[in-house]
Structure 1
């Protein structure tokens, strides 16, 4: 039950009745006063009850977690979710069977799950939420791989004096590459394309100046 209409001698009593039936509190509900009611003569004759509609607010964390569980079930994957919330950041760690299937080639499946789960979370939130989904520590391993890749490609750009174009990757992975390459004073990165096919280009600063 997500919404209920309740009556009572007063608006407050009608609201409390609805909240009790929904087993929730005011901070998790949207309350609409349909009719304020009427006390009537001597509180008896001509009285009219107050009527309210109380709708249970959908929690973005609960909705996004349920969505992810449903998708994993559709994939015939039995897994446990460990959800942590820090401000507007939601971290979901997946553990269980078939983690390789959850991660996919170069994390593509995991990234897709993360992208879709974040869309669901923000559909029910009044502020932007950032969702990160991990499986068996893949994100840290991937970061190490990206660090090695960034260093190697930065050296390649310096050696060949040519721009190096990377394959499309999600924004959080591009940020990792940006951060690592920023340590090289002679090269820099910029992004091209549109999501979800946005990618990085590593260029020497001399090349960038020459293109202007």
Structure 2
């Protein structure tokens, strides 16, 4: 008989395995690209979370793996997810960060969401935001929900955007 704790343990070990597979894949990539970096593995909100960090905080070379607007990071995340899927046979929801790019972006998006919430609360009217990728929309949806309002995604990729509405 499987208990909830057993299921959680199984899930956690599967996520840890995803992280290890991703780390191996990314270490090979760093070697090929001749970039220095360490790989941190964690489990966050039911997903494997992997981050490539610089040994030297002044070294900005890893930022190239994020790209100007995170487009390189998004592509690298998809490639890493495919590498994990090839080894496990299961689709991965792994989250990848490089040199704190997503962490910084998350803070900026929370501010955008808070500004939209304030505008909706003041006017009572829906507010549409600029197009965002799925990661960015999720951050905004979470911040809006935490503020007690509702939000929806509208449009079609790559111009899909969030609309914040009164509760």
| TM-score, with structure 2 as normaliser | 0.65
| TM-score, with structure 1 as normaliser | 0.54
Q: Which protein has the larger Cα radius of gyration, Structure 1 or Structure 2?
A: 1
Give the distance between the partners of 1:152 and 1:84, measured in 2 at CA.
31
1:164 paired to 2:128: yes
The SS at the match of 2:70 is: helix
- Alignment CA distance shift 1:154-1:60 (3 Å): closer
Report the equivalent of 2:40: 82
Which structure has greater strand proportion?
Answer: 1
CA displacement, residues 157-189 of structure 1 (integer Å, 9 cap, x when unaligned): 44563541322222x33222112112444x421
Q: Which sections of structure 1, spanning at least 5 residues, go unmatched?
A: 1-58, 206-212
1:115 paired to 2:78: yes
Cα RMSD for the two superposed structures: 3.2
Q: Does the 8 Å CA contact 1:165/1:201 hold for their aligned counterparts?
A: yes
Which structure has greater helix proportion?
Answer: 2
2:140 counterpart (173, 177, 188)? 177
Question: Which structure has more RCO (C-alpha within 8 Å, separation ≥ 6)?
Answer: 2
Give the distance between the partners of 1:148 and 1:131, measured in 2 at CA.
25
Give the distance between the partners of 1:152 and 1:201, measured in 2 at CA.
13
- Alignment CA distance shift 1:183-1:66 (3 Å): closer
1:93 counterpart (45, 51, 58)? 51
Which residues of 2 match residues 33-72 of structure 1 at below 5 A?
A: 63-72=21-30
